A and B are shown apart, each in its own frame.
Chain A
Amino acid sequence: MSDETPVALRGITKRYGDLKANDSVDLDLRKGEVHALLGENGAGKTTLMNVLSGVLAPDEGEILIGGEAVTLRSPKHALTLGIGVVHQHPRLVEALTAAENLFIGWDVVPGLFRRRSALVERANELGKQYKLELDMEARGWQLSIADKQRLEILRTLTRGAKVLILDEPTSVLTPAETQGLFDLMHRHRDEGESVVFISHKLREALSIADRITVMRHGKNVKTLERSDADVDMITNLMIGGEVPTASRKKTKAGDTVMEVAGLTVQDDRGDDAVRDLSLTLAAGEIVGVAGVTGNGQRELTEALAGLRAPSAGRINVAGKVLAGRSCRAFVRAGVGFVPEDRLGTGLAGSETIWRNAIMRRYGADQLTRGPLLDQAASHEMARKVVAAVKLSADDLETPVRALSGGHAQRLLTGREMEVGSKVLILAFPTRGLDVSAAAYLRQTILNARDRGIAVLFVAEELDEILEMSDRVVVMYEGLINAEFEGEVDREAVGRAMGGVDRSARGGARTEAQA
């Protein structure tokens, strides 16, 4: 049996106060399988994997490794037993190079005394061996999120993980990189080891997994073979009911509100991320921006909100010239912006809901009395923002950090809709949200569109973009290389996302790094 089942969980229960994050969960992993763990946010997937990887001790139940009950003392201990986790948010030292991050705390290398070039060389060898190549000389902060994650996977694999646990790994990867990751998972499986793939993306799980376990409310709802599963069935298991869908009615787009021409913007490394881009947004339309993450979407959205000064080009909103002006000028012109980085840029986590709700307006005359902040007016505005997105107004003093991801995003969106009387720039607004929270948000965005607001909708799921948008543009290497209206051909969009020729993209990347 131990051959078949390298790892088994029996009756795992984990409580946080009254909440059972895991409720007597059983799970068996087989040798040589990719096991998908599916469930909405808060279903208990991550808690379960934290138990399996030694981060948390279960309150009840046992962990069997090779048929034997073990007590995992720490993640390091778990790794010596062959269980390694790649976390959703990469944990790297930003100031160190990729190579240094790879070897940090690893006793096979006398780290600090090694020559840097030797370290990089060895790192590159390992990268090649595991087919996870990246720029080993780049510093942590220079790496894209995708590269950071690849580095973390590499780090886990090179330290002998046999059971590889991937926590929502594809949310930051490009389709090509996702395919690369899937290949890697299959290789690992074919070597007779196990992979646990945690996700809330159904289609991916169905395409990669050999078996699927669905969790809901901390319980293992069902474990089934891939051959027995289909989308509808799994969806019902995940949410325990029907999926709410956004309703939309077609509206006629109005006059052009935002006009962007010849826009060039640099990324943090100083390279051009957006190059000579032109775009118009009309009142009452949603323009979806498709594209593989890292093709300049972040820089574009930040420039359109005044957060990142463009080096060239025009941004006009309703006749006002905005390029090169401050964030406040954009706010005054009625441009709202939901940034990609919610709890860092979009919201100040340790501050209260009301302080966050007035953040983009705090200096306005109606909120100030001389040097003082008008407390009554501020709270009034906060209540308005909160009410607009149907959040409770009872706890305006709660720190935003205590909100769930979905509620925090609602607060942020509500605030930006108050700001964005003309234009709303949305960067990945539904990323990481569970099904119902994402549906609520999509409906909110559609309602804004129906009120005549011009919306730029950047997202990573093509299905979502197609469902939401009146017009779709594809960003590729800082340019809009295709535009679709009316009936959109998925395959054509996909081809545009990959550039004219897929291999050309790889070449361009290497060039940029050299």
Chain B
Amino acid sequence: MIDALRTLPAWRIERRAKPGGGVRYRVGSVAIGVVLSTAFALLVSDADPSQFFEGLWNSTFGQPAGFEYMLTLTASLLLVGLAAAIPLKLGLWNIGGDGQLFLGAWGAFAMGELFPDMSSSLLIPLMFVAAAVCAAAWSIVPAIARVYLNVNEIISTLMFNFIAASWVIYWAGSKWGEQASAGSVKSESVPEQTILESIPVGDYLIPISFVFAVIFGGLVWLFLRRSVFGYEMSIIGSSPKAATYAGMPTKRIMLIVFALGGVAAGLAGVTEMLTNVQRYGPALSNNTGYTGVVVAVLAGGFGPQLLVMALVFAIISIAGNVLTITGAPSELVFAMYGLTLICAAIGQGLRHVRIVNPGRAERAAALPSVAGAAK
């Protein structure tokens, strides 16, 4: 009988006719990624686990200050996540979230420079509009190159980030620079009346930027679900050829979608500036734009799951901060992002296959006690 078992075929991987349940695999693989990356981070940083988890709890849900910061971070990630997720619906990659964020903040800060004495009820909306316009203008350039000249948008949007980074240094350093500051490049403060306060709820504080990001994201999501434009996007995303056949202005829609992504990232710039940093400078983004791409890919859409994923990545980011207190390098958090992303990618791949054992039925038959017990 042993020989019989030995000759049976072994386990093998087989393609499924249809991929398995999307949500199950997505949630499962991200959860595995978070657990693995946390374990990995603890391992390499020599941190005491109980201390780490206590610190993490206090910096997220445990204490008001941590909670407020967590939501500020979530707001930025939600907006830059949208900046990547909306074009991704058409199969277009917007890696330029960082640059668009900086340009948005630039436009907003410029308004503050021009009208420093304007009342907050006028100046803040003006800053938001300026941020949206500047970021959209910035993102539409690679979009035009993509749509009309077929220039790969991944590379062009990425390269635009580097241009934007120099732009920030120039303006924050030379033009609007705070002469007193040494070391990091940053501008003067934004006009005092424009700083966004948080809304107290019990002991806790909800940042306005978070409320704004959730409302903006919600409106975009609803609009794209219900509108003719959203319908066109869904068909183009599924099959550009079918969209042409349906008479859709595919190119124009691609441009608008890219601009919309830019707007979202630009709004992340202005909310971050008016909530957290309060100055113009490189500190506005800690590679937030890139993290936004990861958030968008893992969320796989721009609905509520994007908010959940933004929150998850805010918490991972905070976990990285907590670890740096114990002496771990600050780059650790990117390793954690990366590990989570890899796990999620593996999860997406595994949806398409299953593991089968051709001999299992026969093996079960070869073990009468088990088969008998089952009956």
Residues of chain A touching chain B, judged by Cβ–Cβ distance below 8 Å, are 16, 55-60, 71, 73, 305, 307, 326-328, 331, 337, 339, 341, 344-351, 355, 359-360, 362-363, 368, 371-373, 375, 402
Q: Is the CB of B234 within 8 A of A57?
A: no
Q: Is the CB of A359 within 8 A of B226?
A: no
Query: Which residues on the A side are within 8 Å of B362 (C-beta)?
Result: 60
A60, A307, A345, A371: the one within 8 Å of B239 (CB)? A345
Report B106-149 residues with CB < 8 Å from chain A CB: none
Q: Is the CB of A351 within 8 A of B356?
A: no
Cβ contacts B1-21/A at 8 Å (1 or 0 each): 000000001101011011000
Q: What's the least CB distance linking B198 to chain A, in Å?
A: 34
Q: Is the CB of B242 within 8 A of A348?
A: yes
Query: Which residues on the A side are within 8 Å of B234 (C-beta)?
Result: 348, 351, 355
Q: Complex: how many Å from CA A341 to CA B361?
A: 41
Known contacts A355-B234, A362-B231, A402-B18; is-contact A345 B226 (Cβ 8 Å):
no
Q: What's the least CB distance linking A309 to chain B, in Å?
A: 12
Query: Which residues on the B side are within 8 Å of A16 (C-beta)?
Result: 17
Q: Complex: how many Å from CA A78 to CA B38?
A: 44
Besides A344-B241, A348-B242, 7 more A-B contacts (Cβ < 8 Å) are: A341-B241, A345-B239, A347-B242, A348-B238, A350-B237, A351-B234, A371-B227
Q: Is the CB of A349 within 8 A of B226?
A: no
Chain A at the B interface: SS class = loop
* Highest count of chain A CB atoms <10 Å: which of B10, B15, B245, B356: B245
Query: Which residues on the A side are within 8 Å of B244 (C-beta)?
Result: 307, 327, 345
Q: Complex: how many Å from CA A146 to CA B164?
A: 50
- Closest residue on chain B to residue A368 by CB atoms: B228
Q: What's the least CB distance linking A97 to chain B, in Å?
A: 20
- Closest residue on chain A to residue B241 by CB atoms: A345
B12, B223, B242, B358: the one within 8 Å of A346 (CB)? B242
Q: What's the least CB distance linking B195 to chain A, in Å?
A: 35
- Closest residue on chain B to residue A17 by CB atoms: B17
B243 at the interface (CB under 8 A from A): yes
Report B233-255 residues with CB < 8 Å from chain A CB: 234-235, 237-239, 241-247
Query: Which residues on the A side are within 8 Å of B53 (C-beta)?
Result: none
B170 at the interface (CB under 8 A from A): no
* Highest count of chain A CB atoms <10 Å: which of B242, B356, B358, B362: B242
Q: Is the CB of A372 within 8 A of B227?
A: yes
Query: Which residues on the B side are within 8 Å of A345 (C-beta)?
Result: 239, 241-242, 244-245
Q: Is the CB of A348 within 8 A of B235?
A: yes
Q: Complex: how many Å from CA A71 to CA B8?
A: 9
Report B193-252 residues with CB < 8 Å from chain A CB: 223, 226-232, 234-235, 237-239, 241-247
- Closest residue on chain B to residue A347 by CB atoms: B242
- Closest residue on chain B to residue A337 by CB atoms: B245
A57, A71, A305, A351: the one within 8 Å of B238 (CB)? A351
Q: Complex: how many Å from CA A342 to CA B161?
A: 41
Query: Which residues on the A side are within 8 Å of B17 (C-beta)?
Result: 16
Known contacts A355-B234, A362-B231; is-contact A59 B14 (Cβ 8 Å):
no
Q: What's the least CB distance linking A347 to chain B, in Å?
A: 6
- Closest residue on chain A to residue B358 by CB atoms: A57
Q: Is the CB of A327 within 8 A of B242?
A: no
Query: Which residues on the B side are within 8 Å of A350 (C-beta)?
Result: 237-239
Report B352-366 residues with CB < 8 Å from chain A CB: 356, 358, 361-362
A57, A344, A349, A363: the one within 8 Å of B356 (CB)? A57
Q: What's the least CB distance linking B193 to chain A, in Å?
A: 35
Q: Which 7 A-B pairs have the closest CB atoms?
A: A348-B238, A328-B247, A327-B247, A71-B9, A348-B242, A348-B239, A57-B358
Q: Is the CB of B9 within 8 A of A362?
A: no
Query: Which residues on the A side are within 8 Å of B223 (C-beta)?
Result: 371
Query: Which residues on the B side are within 8 Å of A347 (C-beta)?
Result: 239, 242
13 A-B interface contacts by CB (under 8 A) = A60-B358, A71-B9, A344-B239, A345-B245, A348-B234, A348-B239, A348-B242, A355-B231, A371-B223, A371-B229, A373-B226, A373-B228, A373-B231
Query: Which residues on the B side are within 8 Å of A307 (C-beta)?
Result: 244-245
Query: Which residues on the B side are within 8 Å of A348 (C-beta)?
Result: 234-235, 238-239, 242-243
Q: Is the CB of A362 within 8 A of B228?
A: yes
A73, A339, A341, A363: the one within 8 Å of B247 (CB)? A363
A59, A344, A402: the one within 8 Å of B358 (CB)? A59
Q: Complex: how many Å from CA A473 to CA B187?
A: 76
Known contacts A73-B12, A344-B241, A348-B239; is-contact A360 B246 (Cβ 8 Å):
yes
Q: What's the least CB distance linking A356 to chain B, in Å?
A: 8
Known contacts A349-B238, A373-B226; is-contact A359 B14 (Cβ 8 Å):
no
Query: Which residues on the B side are within 8 Å of A328 (C-beta)?
Result: 247
Query: Which residues on the B side are within 8 Å of A339 (C-beta)?
Result: 245
Q: Is the CB of B358 within 8 A of A355?
A: no
Q: What's the least CB distance linking A57 to chain B, in Å?
A: 4
Q: Is the CB of B18 within 8 A of A327?
A: no
Q: Complex: how many Å from CA A71 to CA B17?
A: 21
Query: Which residues on the A side are within 8 Å of B228 (C-beta)?
Result: 362-363, 368, 371-373
Q: What's the least CB distance linking B356 to chain A, in Å?
A: 6
Q: Complex: how many Å from CA A3 to CA B144?
A: 65
Query: Which residues on the B side are within 8 Å of A372 (C-beta)?
Result: 226-228
Q: Is the CB of A349 within 8 A of B239?
A: yes
Query: Which residues on the A side are within 8 Å of B356 (C-beta)?
Result: 57, 59
- Closest residue on chain B to residue A327 by CB atoms: B247
Query: Which residues on the A side are within 8 Å of B227 (C-beta)?
Result: 371-373
Q: Complex: how many Å from CA A56 to CA B230?
A: 39
